[in-house]
Amino acid sequence: MSTHTAHHRTSSDERRTLRRGRAHVFWNLIYGGLRALGLRISSFYVTVGVFLVVGALVAVVATLGFAELAEHVLAGGTQAFDVAVLQWLHAHQTPQLTALMVEMTYLGTGTVVVMIVGVTALFLWHTEHKYSARLLLASTIGNIVLNGALKFVYHRSRPSLFAWQTTALSSSFPSGHAMSATVVYGTVAYLLMRLQKHHWARMLTLAGAILLVLLICLTRLYLGVHYPSDVIGGMIVGLAWAAFCMATLEASLAYARRRAPRGFIEERPAPVEAPAT
């Protein structure tokens, strides 16, 4: 052991045994607890992952938020707001903007969503990200089933304030386009961000997904086929379902790495490149 190392350890031991004023017992307990807590937190995040905790928390909060919104919708508490927003949008319609909105809304339809999910799932499977591919398929199928069940339960009629600029089926709450866009584009963005090394690329992917979801949701209002509360409800419950699926993926990978760490190296997120100095 070198002289410098021995001196460092001696200094550390001396600092730990020094009396911290009259309340040294209290501070010893505080610092000891913080050290123990730090070790447990570190172990927890390494084993489970931060996305598991955040995803589960977002899922719970969003579910509670959707339940609260649905209660207000059923009671008619959002009707005045819904009507005012749709009337404002209708007053600002133009032929050019309407044509653009009709094209944009197709990005949330079933055919386009299924194609995006299929291509992304094939890419993930081909690059040995099989857990991620399964998650994307499960989240998409679950979204379809969940949206259908919620529409059946609430069975809200669609707006009839002005003529629709596109076709629409089924009931109104929650919006299927808003829910599908949030789940599919949100999940795809999350999975792509796990493969990207650069922080700026991850932020660009996230921003692009958020912008796309918001634009799709706006088209449903502009075209007159949904109330704002329908769209907000679809986004909230879609976020809850997507967050639950993301948390499930992280938990599955954490468990799989413990059992067979070498077999799941390909599923690990890409390392973040350090900025050039």
Please report the DSSP string for 184-197 in residue order: HHHHHHHHHHHH--
Residue 23: pLDDT over 90: no
As given in the structure block, the two tokens for residue 34 are: 């913080």
pLDDT of residue 39: 45
Q: Say if residue 271's pLDDT is above 70.
A: no
Q: Domain spanning 51-267 has what CATH number?
A: 1.20.144
Whether residue 36 has pLDDT greater than 80: no
How much is the CA Rg of the chain, to the nearest whole Å?
25
> For 220-252, how does the pLDDT look when each residue is reduced to its tens digit (9 = 90+)?
999 989 999 999 999 999 999 998 888 888 777
Mean pLDDT value of segment 149-171: 85
Least confident of 215-219, 221-225, 245-249, 261-265: 261-265
Length of the chain (residues):
277
With b for 16 or more beta-carbon neighbours within 10 A and e for fewer, the 10-27 pattern comes to eeeeeeeeeeeeeeeeee
Q: Residue 127 gets which letter from DSSP?
A: T
DSSP of 57-126: HHHHHHHHHHHHHHHHHHTTTTHHHHHHHHHHHHHT--HHHHHHHHHHHGGGSHHHHHHHHHHHHHHHHH
Please give the helix or strand (H or E) that residue 24 lies within, else none.
Answer: helix 24-47
Domain boundaries, the chain: 3-40, 51-267
Q: How far is CA 150 from the centre of its chain?
A: 20
Q: What is the pLDDT of residues 110-129, one digit of tens each?
A: 889 999 999 999 988 888 88
Question: In this structure, which amino acid lies at residue 231?
Answer: V
Whether the per-residue pLDDT at 187 is higher than 60: the answer is yes
Averaged pLDDT, 136-161: 90
- In the chain, the largest separation of any two C-alpha atoms, in whole Å, equals 85
Sign of CA dihedral 44, 49, 50, 51: negative
pLDDT at residue 137 greater than cutoff 70: yes
Give yes or no for residue 265 having a pLDDT over 70. Answer: no
Amino acid at 245: C
For residue range 72-95, what is the model confidence (pLDDT) as tens digits? 998 889 999 999 999 999 999 999
